[in-house]
Structure 1
Amino acid sequence: MKKLIWPIHLILLKKVDSTNQYAKKYFYNRKKNWTVIWTINQTNGNGTENNIWYTEKYKNLTFSIILIPTPPISIEKKYIINLITSNAIHKILCHHYQHYYDDLFSIKWPNDIILNNKKIGGILIENNIFLNKIYYFIIGIGLNVNQTKFDEKWNASSLKNIFQINFQLDYLLYKILLSIQKEYFLYTKIGEKIIREYYIHHLYLKDVNSLFYFQKRKKIFKGIIRSITDKGFLVIEHNSKLYSFFNKEIQIIR
């Protein structure tokens, strides 16, 4: 692995059910910061809200990162690692591939990567909380790279489907890891302001009339995504008023 800001400990697995599950077991035995578990064949990956992340073996990136923040992060700011990771992936994809098209990449709140209105990546972050502090994060990342066939109901695509070229997985992994470390380093030095601003600016469907499903009331309503709160909740304008929702409370339909 090429030079990074912090050295990593890379574990490459031929096959595993879930890199996040493997990372949690590994952490309890080793507790080594910046450990990366990467597999070319994940058989039972987890998405948010207990969804399954389907991925074709040998064609996509599926990996997890063990991050031990110093100092620990308060529970109120746990969302910042999601912003850091989302921004890092968005930046590296835009930097290398945006010149093909104009403004195709975006971040769907809270943790999906969107390309040309299709989901190409997802992030699942798990953590350990003690006395209102978070002492470690398991950052699970799935990115559709060279896979070309998807079930229509998934509304998914891949880098290859859009750009019509094959991508080198190990090189892309390195660039994403470096980008995540750069974003985390930026956060440790100057705080979250710039991190939040970038994330908000690149939100999918921001300032666009959209449909949402409100879980509590079993109701679909129209609104406009405007921002996020200082706890990472989504801010939606509805009938000229602003409301905030956490990620299990609201679903973006379109």
Structure 2
Amino acid sequence: MKKLIWPINLIVLKKINSTNQYAKKYIYNNKYNWMVIWTMNQTKGIGMDKNLWHTEERKNLTFSIVFKPIKTLHVKKIYIINLVISNAIHKTLSKCYNQNNKERIWIKWPNDIIINNKKIGGILIENSILSKTIHTIIVGVGLNVFQKQFKKKWNASSLKEIFNLNLDLDLLFHKIIYSFQKEYLFFTIYGEKFIRDYYINHLYLKDKTSIFYIYKTNHYISGTIRTITDQGFLVIESNKKLYFFYHKEIEFLILK
């Protein structure tokens, strides 16, 4: 087991409604630069756009990381932490579970983990901002590991369902934390492009014709994901024109 790059204060809870909500009490705690809140029973986890993250007790990973940037991060670059944690989870799963399997692991913009067109993980990032710079970051992670029962509308699955391997929740948890710290260290050393390039190369449905629903116009378009901008906007090409979207402006519909 690899040693963490920065020491963390780990808080393990038997049961909590949301690790992100619990983590907020430590936003202005200066005693520790890195904290992790972990529970095996999260009852009301929140995902993107305030959607509930449904999870069965002791079958999945649900935790939040609280840390203060060691490199000044302007509010316009908030998206980069999303890329850092998405890359970290993708690299961990690809290394641990995808070496001898045909299933590809993808990052669905902005921050879902996808295998076999099924969602197996999601991320919720909340920030404390002072003077247009990010003071403290809370990264909430939900990862389906052993769970087998999912409602059809969730379009979800789990690592156990897909890979049918023996899994160790403790070891997987440690690997993701280490990978996140390592990826964040890469960002501080090599910069934003290094992080963006990996993310874009593993972007779900990139360069494939897909259908998207545009909330603002209440219309569907056929287009192709090309890249993301340096502020995190998704770039879609449709009818030889480029369109830019933020995460609350568009919905993916897979063209089968």
Indicate whether the TM-score tops 0.5: yes
Partner of 1:42: 42
Partner of 1:230: 230
Partner of 1:60: 60
- CA distance in structure 2 between the partners assigned to 1:245 and 1:77 by the alignment: 16
- CA distance in structure 2 between the partners assigned to 1:55 and 1:220 by the alignment: 31
CA RMSD of aligned residues (A): 1.2
Matches within 5 A, 1:197-208: 197-208=197-208
Q: What letter corresponds to residue 75 of structure 1 in structure 2?
A: V
2:99 pairs with 1:92: no
1:209 CA drift (Å) = 0.4
1:103 CA drift (Å) = 5.1
1:31 CA drift (Å) = 5.6
- CA distance in structure 2 between the partners assigned to 1:238 and 1:224 by the alignment: 7
More moved, 6-15 vs 70-79: 70-79
- CA distance in structure 2 between the partners assigned to 1:180 and 1:136 by the alignment: 16
Kept after mapping to 2: 8 A contact 1:236/1:244: yes
Partner of 1:174: 174
Matches within 5 A, 1:1-254: 3-29=3-29, 32-102=32-102, 104-254=104-254
Q: Which runs of 5+ in 1 are unaligned?
A: none
SS class of match (1:125):
strand
1:134 CA drift (Å) = 0.7
- CA distance in structure 1 between the partners assigned to 2:27 and 2:128 by the alignment: 11
SS class of match (2:20):
helix
Deviations 1:181-220 (A, max 9, x none): 1100000011011110000010000000001111101111
1:60 CA drift (Å) = 0.2
1:77 CA drift (Å) = 0.7
Kept after mapping to 2: 8 A contact 1:32/1:66: no
Deviations 1:85-112 (A, max 9, x none): 0000000100111123235100000000
More moved, 61-70 vs 26-35: 26-35
**TM-score scaled by length of structure 2:** 0.96
SS class of match (1:92):
helix
**TM-score scaled by length of structure 1:** 0.97
Figure out how many residues of one structure are paired with residues of the other and give that number.
254
- CA distance in structure 1 between the partners assigned to 2:37 and 2:149 by the alignment: 25
1:29 CA drift (Å) = 4.8
- CA distance in structure 2 between the partners assigned to 1:80 and 1:147 by the alignment: 30
Deviations 1:121-168 (A, max 9, x none): 000000011221111110000000011111111000000001112311
SS class of match (2:27):
helix
- CA distance in structure 1 between the partners assigned to 2:212 and 2:191 by the alignment: 31
- CA distance in structure 2 between the partners assigned to 1:31 and 1:241 by the alignment: 50
Q: What letter corresponds to residue 5 of structure 1 in structure 2?
A: I
- CA distance in structure 2 between the partners assigned to 1:141 and 1:56 by the alignment: 15
Kept after mapping to 1: 8 A contact 2:2/2:178: no
Q: What letter corresponds to residue 163 of structure 1 in structure 2?
A: F
1:27 CA drift (Å) = 2.7
- CA distance in structure 2 between the partners assigned to 1:43 and 1:186 by the alignment: 34
More moved, 130-139 vs 117-126: 130-139
Kept after mapping to 1: 8 A contact 2:72/2:134: yes
- CA distance in structure 1 between the partners assigned to 2:31 and 2:117 by the alignment: 38
